[in-house]
Amino acid sequence: MTENATRRFRALFISDVHLGTRGCQADKLLDFLRHHDAETIYLVGDIVDGWALRSSWYWPQPHNDVVQKLLRQARKGARLIYIPGNHDEFLRGYYGTHFGGIEVKENAIHEGADGRRYLVVHGDIFDLVVTQARWLALLGDKAYDFALTANRIFNAFRRVFGAPYWSLSKWAKHKVKNAVNYIGAFEKALATEAKHHQVDGVICGHIHTPAIHDEYGLRYINCGDWVESCTAVAETHDGAFEIITWTRGGRDLEPAAGRQVAAGDVRRAAA
Protein backbone atom coordinates (compact mmCIF):
# COMPACT_ATOMS: atom_id res chain seq x y z
CA MET A 1 0.00 0.00 0.00
CA THR A 2 1.41 3.37 -0.98
CA GLU A 3 1.83 6.06 1.67
CA ASN A 4 -1.31 8.02 0.75
CA ALA A 5 -3.49 5.15 -0.49
CA THR A 6 -6.86 4.58 1.18
CA ARG A 7 -8.36 1.11 1.50
CA ARG A 8 -12.12 1.21 1.18
CA PHE A 9 -14.31 -1.36 2.90
CA ARG A 10 -17.95 -2.21 3.21
CA ALA A 11 -17.71 -1.97 7.02
CA LEU A 12 -15.16 -1.29 9.75
CA PHE A 13 -15.46 -2.40 13.38
CA ILE A 14 -13.43 -0.60 16.06
CA SER A 15 -13.60 -1.22 19.80
CA ASP A 16 -11.80 -0.50 23.08
CA VAL A 17 -10.03 2.72 22.10
CA HIS A 18 -10.18 4.06 25.69
CA LEU A 19 -9.88 7.73 24.82
CA GLY A 20 -9.13 9.60 28.04
CA THR A 21 -6.43 7.21 29.22
CA ARG A 22 -2.66 7.39 28.89
CA GLY A 23 -2.58 3.90 27.44
CA CYS A 24 -4.74 4.85 24.45
CA GLN A 25 -2.75 4.86 21.20
CA ALA A 26 -4.84 7.59 19.58
CA ASP A 27 -2.07 8.58 17.18
CA LYS A 28 -2.06 5.11 15.63
CA LEU A 29 -5.86 5.04 15.37
CA LEU A 30 -5.85 8.46 13.70
CA ASP A 31 -3.26 7.22 11.19
CA PHE A 32 -5.36 4.10 10.60
CA LEU A 33 -8.48 6.20 9.92
CA ARG A 34 -6.55 8.29 7.41
CA HIS A 35 -5.75 5.14 5.42
CA HIS A 36 -9.05 3.26 5.77
CA ASP A 37 -12.61 4.20 4.89
CA ALA A 38 -15.93 2.38 4.96
CA GLU A 39 -19.60 2.77 4.16
CA THR A 40 -20.45 1.82 7.76
CA ILE A 41 -18.25 2.20 10.82
CA TYR A 42 -19.24 0.42 14.03
CA LEU A 43 -17.80 1.75 17.29
CA VAL A 44 -18.10 -1.39 19.41
CA GLY A 45 -17.82 0.05 22.91
CA ASP A 46 -15.25 1.54 25.30
CA ILE A 47 -14.37 4.22 22.77
CA VAL A 48 -14.27 6.85 25.53
CA ASP A 49 -13.14 5.73 28.99
CA GLY A 50 -15.59 7.35 31.40
CA TRP A 51 -14.19 5.37 34.32
CA ALA A 52 -10.74 6.93 33.88
CA LEU A 53 -12.05 10.44 33.19
CA ARG A 54 -14.07 10.43 36.41
CA SER A 55 -10.95 9.83 38.50
CA SER A 56 -8.46 11.95 36.54
CA TRP A 57 -9.00 14.15 33.50
CA TYR A 58 -6.66 13.34 30.60
CA TRP A 59 -7.59 14.47 27.09
CA PRO A 60 -4.63 15.43 24.86
CA GLN A 61 -5.03 16.76 21.33
CA PRO A 62 -4.70 13.36 19.53
CA HIS A 63 -7.76 12.12 21.46
CA ASN A 64 -9.73 15.12 20.28
CA ASP A 65 -8.44 14.58 16.74
CA VAL A 66 -9.84 11.03 16.71
CA VAL A 67 -13.30 12.32 17.69
CA GLN A 68 -13.15 15.03 15.03
CA LYS A 69 -12.04 12.53 12.39
CA LEU A 70 -14.99 10.24 13.17
CA LEU A 71 -17.41 13.16 13.04
CA ARG A 72 -15.99 14.15 9.65
CA GLN A 73 -16.55 10.59 8.41
CA ALA A 74 -20.22 10.91 9.38
CA ARG A 75 -20.52 14.29 7.65
CA LYS A 76 -18.99 12.79 4.48
CA GLY A 77 -21.75 10.18 4.34
CA ALA A 78 -20.47 7.19 6.28
CA ARG A 79 -22.94 5.58 8.67
CA LEU A 80 -21.51 5.51 12.21
CA ILE A 81 -23.09 3.29 14.86
CA TYR A 82 -21.90 3.61 18.47
CA ILE A 83 -22.61 0.66 20.78
CA PRO A 84 -21.51 1.68 24.31
CA GLY A 85 -19.49 -0.64 26.53
CA ASN A 86 -18.91 -0.68 30.26
CA HIS A 87 -16.31 2.12 30.23
CA ASP A 88 -18.60 4.44 28.23
CA GLU A 89 -21.78 3.26 29.95
CA PHE A 90 -22.78 6.92 30.47
CA LEU A 91 -24.08 6.76 26.87
CA ARG A 92 -26.46 3.90 27.62
CA GLY A 93 -29.14 6.38 28.58
CA TYR A 94 -29.12 7.72 25.02
CA TYR A 95 -30.08 4.67 22.96
CA GLY A 96 -31.91 5.71 19.80
CA THR A 97 -30.41 9.19 19.67
CA HIS A 98 -27.91 10.78 17.28
CA PHE A 99 -24.83 12.87 18.11
CA GLY A 100 -23.26 14.63 15.14
CA GLY A 101 -24.58 11.95 12.81
CA ILE A 102 -23.49 9.07 15.08
CA GLU A 103 -26.26 6.64 16.08
CA VAL A 104 -26.20 5.29 19.65
CA LYS A 105 -27.62 1.76 19.93
CA GLU A 106 -27.67 -1.03 22.49
CA ASN A 107 -26.62 -3.54 19.84
CA ALA A 108 -26.98 -3.99 16.10
CA ILE A 109 -27.49 -6.68 13.50
CA HIS A 110 -25.01 -6.34 10.67
CA GLU A 111 -25.86 -8.08 7.41
CA GLY A 112 -22.76 -9.03 5.47
CA ALA A 113 -22.37 -8.82 1.73
CA ASP A 114 -22.91 -12.58 1.54
CA GLY A 115 -26.22 -12.37 3.43
CA ARG A 116 -24.89 -13.67 6.74
CA ARG A 117 -26.12 -11.80 9.80
CA TYR A 118 -23.98 -10.81 12.79
CA LEU A 119 -24.90 -9.60 16.25
CA VAL A 120 -22.72 -6.57 17.06
CA VAL A 121 -22.35 -6.01 20.82
CA HIS A 122 -19.57 -4.84 23.14
CA GLY A 123 -19.80 -7.98 25.28
CA ASP A 124 -19.41 -6.74 28.85
CA ILE A 125 -22.89 -7.92 29.83
CA PHE A 126 -21.56 -11.48 29.41
CA ASP A 127 -18.62 -10.83 31.75
CA LEU A 128 -19.57 -11.92 35.29
CA VAL A 129 -16.75 -9.83 36.77
CA VAL A 130 -18.35 -6.68 35.35
CA THR A 131 -21.98 -7.56 36.03
CA GLN A 132 -21.69 -9.33 39.40
CA ALA A 133 -18.55 -7.89 40.99
CA ARG A 134 -18.13 -4.33 39.77
CA TRP A 135 -15.58 -3.53 42.49
CA LEU A 136 -13.38 -6.34 41.17
CA ALA A 137 -13.69 -4.99 37.62
CA LEU A 138 -12.59 -1.53 38.82
CA LEU A 139 -9.69 -3.06 40.74
CA GLY A 140 -8.67 -5.06 37.67
CA ASP A 141 -8.86 -1.90 35.57
CA LYS A 142 -6.39 -0.15 37.89
CA ALA A 143 -4.09 -3.16 37.81
CA TYR A 144 -4.23 -3.16 34.01
CA ASP A 145 -3.29 0.54 33.93
CA PHE A 146 -0.35 -0.19 36.23
CA ALA A 147 0.79 -3.03 33.97
CA LEU A 148 0.63 -0.73 30.94
CA THR A 149 2.74 1.91 32.71
CA ALA A 150 5.31 -0.69 33.75
CA ASN A 151 5.27 -2.04 30.21
CA ARG A 152 6.02 1.39 28.71
CA ILE A 153 9.04 1.81 31.03
CA PHE A 154 10.26 -1.72 30.30
CA ASN A 155 9.96 -1.23 26.53
CA ALA A 156 11.77 2.11 26.70
CA PHE A 157 14.82 0.17 27.92
CA ARG A 158 14.27 -2.49 25.23
CA ARG A 159 14.32 0.21 22.54
CA VAL A 160 17.67 1.48 23.83
CA PHE A 161 19.14 -1.96 23.15
CA GLY A 162 17.32 -2.36 19.83
CA ALA A 163 14.89 -4.99 21.09
CA PRO A 164 11.32 -5.08 19.72
CA TYR A 165 8.17 -4.20 21.67
CA TRP A 166 6.99 -6.85 24.12
CA SER A 167 3.59 -6.87 25.82
CA LEU A 168 3.39 -8.07 29.42
CA SER A 169 -0.41 -8.20 29.52
CA LYS A 170 -0.68 -10.00 26.16
CA TRP A 171 1.88 -12.57 27.33
CA ALA A 172 -0.09 -13.07 30.55
CA LYS A 173 -3.37 -13.54 28.67
CA HIS A 174 -1.91 -16.37 26.61
CA LYS A 175 0.21 -18.01 29.32
CA VAL A 176 -1.85 -17.80 32.51
CA LYS A 177 -4.32 -20.67 32.64
CA ASN A 178 -7.13 -18.71 34.30
CA ALA A 179 -6.86 -15.94 31.69
CA VAL A 180 -7.03 -18.46 28.84
CA ASN A 181 -10.06 -20.11 30.44
CA TYR A 182 -11.70 -16.69 30.89
CA ILE A 183 -11.25 -15.82 27.21
CA GLY A 184 -12.67 -19.18 26.16
CA ALA A 185 -15.69 -18.79 28.47
CA PHE A 186 -16.32 -15.27 27.17
CA GLU A 187 -16.19 -16.40 23.55
CA LYS A 188 -18.55 -19.29 24.25
CA ALA A 189 -21.04 -17.00 26.05
CA LEU A 190 -21.07 -14.58 23.11
CA ALA A 191 -21.57 -17.44 20.65
CA THR A 192 -24.50 -18.72 22.72
CA GLU A 193 -26.10 -15.28 22.74
CA ALA A 194 -25.68 -15.02 18.96
CA LYS A 195 -27.52 -18.33 18.56
CA HIS A 196 -30.40 -16.92 20.63
CA HIS A 197 -30.64 -14.05 18.14
CA GLN A 198 -30.70 -16.60 15.30
CA VAL A 199 -27.77 -14.98 13.54
CA ASP A 200 -24.70 -16.44 11.88
CA GLY A 201 -22.08 -14.81 14.04
CA VAL A 202 -21.12 -12.22 16.63
CA ILE A 203 -18.79 -9.20 16.44
CA CYS A 204 -17.65 -7.84 19.81
CA GLY A 205 -14.83 -6.29 21.83
CA HIS A 206 -14.29 -5.94 25.60
CA ILE A 207 -11.50 -8.47 26.26
CA HIS A 208 -8.82 -6.78 24.09
CA THR A 209 -8.08 -10.04 22.26
CA PRO A 210 -8.55 -9.88 18.46
CA ALA A 211 -9.80 -13.10 16.91
CA ILE A 212 -11.81 -14.62 14.09
CA HIS A 213 -12.81 -18.27 14.37
CA ASP A 214 -15.65 -20.74 14.08
CA GLU A 215 -15.11 -22.89 17.15
CA TYR A 216 -18.64 -22.73 18.59
CA GLY A 217 -20.73 -23.48 15.51
CA LEU A 218 -20.83 -19.90 14.25
CA ARG A 219 -18.44 -17.09 13.47
CA TYR A 220 -16.86 -15.31 16.44
CA ILE A 221 -15.10 -12.01 15.69
CA ASN A 222 -13.39 -9.78 18.26
CA CYS A 223 -12.10 -6.36 17.22
CA GLY A 224 -9.22 -6.23 19.71
CA ASP A 225 -8.25 -2.80 21.05
CA TRP A 226 -6.25 0.41 20.56
CA VAL A 227 -4.29 0.18 23.79
CA GLU A 228 -1.97 -2.69 22.86
CA SER A 229 -3.11 -4.71 19.86
CA CYS A 230 -4.02 -1.69 17.67
CA THR A 231 -6.44 -3.77 15.61
CA ALA A 232 -9.69 -3.30 13.76
CA VAL A 233 -11.95 -5.67 11.85
CA ALA A 234 -12.86 -4.92 8.25
CA GLU A 235 -15.44 -6.42 5.90
CA THR A 236 -14.58 -6.24 2.21
CA HIS A 237 -17.20 -5.69 -0.46
CA ASP A 238 -17.30 -9.43 -1.22
CA GLY A 239 -18.13 -10.32 2.39
CA ALA A 240 -14.65 -11.33 3.60
CA PHE A 241 -13.60 -10.34 7.12
CA GLU A 242 -10.05 -9.56 8.20
CA ILE A 243 -8.21 -8.31 11.25
CA ILE A 244 -5.96 -5.35 10.47
CA THR A 245 -3.09 -4.69 12.87
CA TRP A 246 -1.76 -1.15 12.48
CA THR A 247 1.64 0.36 13.19
CA ARG A 248 2.67 3.98 13.54
CA GLY A 249 4.30 3.92 10.10
CA GLY A 250 1.04 3.14 8.31
CA ARG A 251 1.81 -0.51 7.65
CA ASP A 252 0.11 -3.73 8.61
CA LEU A 253 2.04 -5.87 11.07
CA GLU A 254 0.67 -9.08 9.59
CA PRO A 255 0.95 -10.01 5.90
CA ALA A 256 -2.35 -10.01 4.01
CA ALA A 257 -2.30 -13.77 3.56
CA GLY A 258 -2.17 -14.25 7.31
CA ARG A 259 -5.09 -11.95 8.00
CA GLN A 260 -7.47 -12.50 5.12
CA VAL A 261 -10.56 -14.48 6.05
CA ALA A 262 -12.68 -15.48 3.10
CA ALA A 263 -16.46 -15.34 3.40
CA GLY A 264 -16.72 -19.12 3.41
CA ASP A 265 -13.39 -19.92 5.07
CA VAL A 266 -13.32 -18.91 8.72
CA ARG A 267 -10.16 -19.31 10.74
CA ARG A 268 -8.42 -17.50 13.58
CA ALA A 269 -6.56 -14.49 12.26
CA ALA A 270 -3.03 -13.86 13.43
CA ALA A 271 -3.04 -11.36 16.30
| pLDDT tens digits for range 73-97 | 999 999 999 999 999 999 999 999 9
pLDDT of residue 253: 45
pLDDT of residue 26: 97
SS3 letters across the chain: CCCCCCEEEEEEEECCCCECCCCCCHHHHHHHHHHEEEEEEEECCCCECHHHHHHCCCCCHHHHHHHHHHHHHHHCCCEEEECCCCCCHHHHHHCCCEECCEEECCCEEEECCCCCEEEECCCHHHCHHHHHCHHHHHHHHHHHHHHHHHHHHHHHHHHHCCCCCCCHHHHHHHHCHHHHHHHHHHHHHHHHHHHHCCCCEEEECCCCCCEEECCCCCEEEECCCCCCCCEEEEECCCCCEEEEEECCCCCECCCHHHHEECCCCCCCCCC
Q: Which amino acid is at 103?
A: E
Rounded to two decimals, what is the model's pTM?
0.77
CA distance 151 to 147: 6
pLDDT of residue 171: 53
Q: Is the pLDDT of residue 160 over 90?
A: no
* pLDDT category of residue 183 using cuts at 50, 70 and 90: confident
* pLDDT category of residue 203 using cuts at 50, 70 and 90: very high
12-38 pLDDT per residue, tens: 999 999 999 999 999 999 999 999 999
β-pairing, 219-222 vs 36-43, is unpaired
pLDDT of residue 176: 45
- Best CA proximity match to 219, nearest among 238, 237, 204, 236: 204
Please name each of the domains of the chain with its CATH number: 8-261 (3.60.21.10)
Stronger pLDDT, 146 or 129, i.e. the higher one: 146
Q: Is the pLDDT of residue 174 over 80?
A: no
